[in-house]
A and B are shown apart, each in its own frame.
Chain A
Amino acid sequence: MANSAVEIGITHASHDVSASFELGKIGMWVFLAGETMVFGGLMGVFILVGISHGGWGADGAHVNWRLGAINTFILYTSSLTAALAQGAARVQDSARAKRYLSATALLGVLFLVIKAFEYAGDYREGFTPLAALFWSFYYLMTGLHVLHLLAGIVVIFGLAFMVGPSTPASWFERKLKYVCLYWYFVETVWVFLFALVYLAPTAG
């Protein structure tokens, strides 16, 4: 059944605050708030433990920040395509939005491929999760991020798959908004991960 206020056409909306809220948007933000606590908690612990050791020192010096920077660039481009998808959906151009959306997912896959290369390279040089506490954190945090990115890719492909010529454009625009919100969140997490785990340990 539809939202109650709409279905009986209540006009005294001045008392009805709830009519102006979008279900999916609130739901997504509540979800993201919880996720922020998970990543925030991890990062907070990482920062504090790092400070307590006076920096990660030699252990953190071998992280492949160049590859990380390339991946960051790829992720930024993927969020550009996501925003372009939202722009296309806003003018009801579902076909173009769908193409941009797929590009977003493909760039996400590229990110994962490069990450796999990076992990393989680290492993070959002996930097396993057991090599040092820094590397334990590195694999845990980037691994968790990878899982979230993967989930986002799956959802994006799912959404793109569900959109056909008969799909109402407004429906697609709304769902796209929520999915892209999630994508921007995963990107924000990466912003901090990149700074904390790639740049900061290798700085100076």
Chain B
Amino acid sequence: MTMEQTEFSISGSVRTWGSLVALLLVGALAVALGLPRSLALWIIFGAATAQTYVIGRYYMRLRSEDVLIYTLALLPVVTVIILAFVLVPDIVMHP
């Protein structure tokens, strides 16, 4: 059974917006401050992943959804990772 917990209170939505903007600034700062490349990349993609989590949790309400929806959301990601993994020997390593 799926009961929709559609909160979407003003304060909740604004707080979500705030965390997204904060994470945006984190990523942008990593570039603006000229941090060393590998550190900057970790920060950038860490921030991106966090933003995706925030959107998925608070806007898309994924946590209150049925396992079916979860599966529909996650399966494509897993599938793309399989594809990318197999492409590495040919595309990345240029044998």
Contact = CB atoms under 8 A, between A and B. Distances in A.
Nearest to B9: A87
B55 A188 contact: yes
A84 B56 contact: no
B47 A204 contact: no
Interface in A50-98: 51-52, 55, 65, 69, 72-73, 76-77, 79-80, 82-84, 86-87, 90
A37 B76 CA distance: 6
Interface stretch (A28-36, A114-122, A133-141): A28-36
B13 A80 contact: yes
Nearest to B43: A203
Nearest to B75: A33
B71 to A, nearest CB: 9
B37 A204 contact: yes
Contact of B36 (A33, A77, A204): A204
With most chain A CB atoms within 10 A of its CB, the pick from B1, B10, B31, B87 is: B31
A76 B84 contact: no
Contact of A86 (B6, B84, B88): B6
B72 A29 contact: yes
A79 B17 contact: yes
B38 A204 contact: yes
Interface residues of A, number: 53
A72 B6 CA distance: 25
B10 A203 contact: no
Given A40-B80, A52-B94, A203 B40 contact: yes
A80 B16 contact: yes
A168 interface: no
A52 B27 contact: no
7 contacts: A29-B69, A52-B91, A69-B28, A79-B59, A187-B55, A199-B27, A203-B37
Interface of A: 20-22, 25-26, 29-30, 32-34, 36-37, 40-41, 43-45, 47-49, 51-52, 55, 65, 69, 72-73, 76-77, 79-80, 82-84, 86-87, 90, 177, 180-181, 184-185, 187-188, 191-192, 194-195, 199-200, 202-204
Lowest 4 A-B CB distances belong to which pairs? A204-B37, A87-B8, A40-B80, A203-B40
